[in-house]
Chain A
Amino acid sequence: EPEVTQTPSHQVTQMGQEVILRCVPISNHLYFYWYRQILGQKVEFLVSFYNNEISEKSEIFDDQFSVERPDGSNFTLKIRSTKLEDSAMYFCATSRREGNNEQFFGPGTRLTVL
């Protein structure tokens, strides 16, 4: 069964460093999302992406964050200058189309900022 994959599974970085989290969507999916979950808190929406453009973003998704699909397969989330409060689990999700469509989640990347 096709699944969303994410790399790395765990990333440890120093405050102020740039990190790139990668996601490989299910092959015929066209809508992509990033969510994050700070330890002990609920999952929060960051950004949605379709047709090489951001469709929607939350207040969390400030200028330090960016997304792209550089090679038509990987979908990446970049954090330019990490802060301690960026430590969280980051989930990629993908769906075949918009509207009432199921989103399939990747296993997550645990980001630890020291």
Chain B
Amino acid sequence: KNEVEQSPQNLTAQEGEFITINCSYSVGISALHWLQQHPGGGIVSLFMLSSGKKKHGRLIATINIQEKHSSLHITASHPRDSAVYICAVRTYNTDKLIFGTGTRSQVFP
């Protein structure tokens, strides 16, 4: 069983729609990261969180430590949001990140 599971694996949306991507994990963590991977392959860090909620522009990330669950929301989605969104966790006593398989998101105009 994967330690980090994401859903959905793929999603499509019309421009302007609200998008939610979910991440569940089975290990105790010290932090959770949301990352964006563009078609060219580069990885950009969006959020790092260990509790509560963070917002940056149209992106919102939440985490529920008790339920071992995090969500990434994109409000007013735009075609430029098309990318793979990856959830990754850091467990205690380690710096390495354990990655989910990613959610491929396509936003159509």
Taken together as a complex, chains A and B put the C-alpha atoms of A72 and B18 apart, in Å, by: 46
A89 x B41 contact (CB < 8 A): yes
With A100-B30, A100-B48 as known contacts, state yes or no: A45 contacts B97, CB within 8 Å.
yes
Q: Does B20 contact A (CB under 8 A)?
A: no
Please tell me which one of the listed residues A45, A55, A101, A108 contacts residue B41 in the complex, with CB atoms under 8 A apart: A108
Residues 37-75 of chain B, each 1 if its beta carbon lies under 8 Å from chain A, else 0: 000111111001010000000000000000000000000
Cβ of A56: which chain B residues have Cβ within 8 Å of it? 94-96
With A42-B102, A100-B30, A100-B90 as known contacts, state yes or no: A48 contacts B45, CB within 8 Å.
no
Identify which of A20-28, A76-84, A91-99 touches chain B.
A91-99
Interface size class of A (residues with CB under 8 A): 20 to 34
Which residues between 60 and 108 of chain A lie within 8 Å of chain B, taking CB atoms?
89, 91, 95, 98-105, 107-108
With A42-B102, A43-B88 as known contacts, state yes or no: A103 contacts B97, CB within 8 Å.
yes
Cβ of A55: which chain B residues have Cβ within 8 Å of it? 95
Cβ of B88: which chain A residues have Cβ within 8 Å of it? 43
B42 x A43 contact (CB < 8 A): no
Q: Which residue of B lies closest to A46 (CB)?
A: B96
Taken together as a complex, chains A and B put the C-alpha atoms of A37 and B97 apart, in Å, by: 13
B43 x A105 contact (CB < 8 A): yes
A91 to chain B, nearest CB (A): 6
What are 7 contact pairs spanning A and B, CB under 8 A?
A31-B95, A42-B86, A43-B86, A101-B48, A102-B33, A105-B45, A107-B40
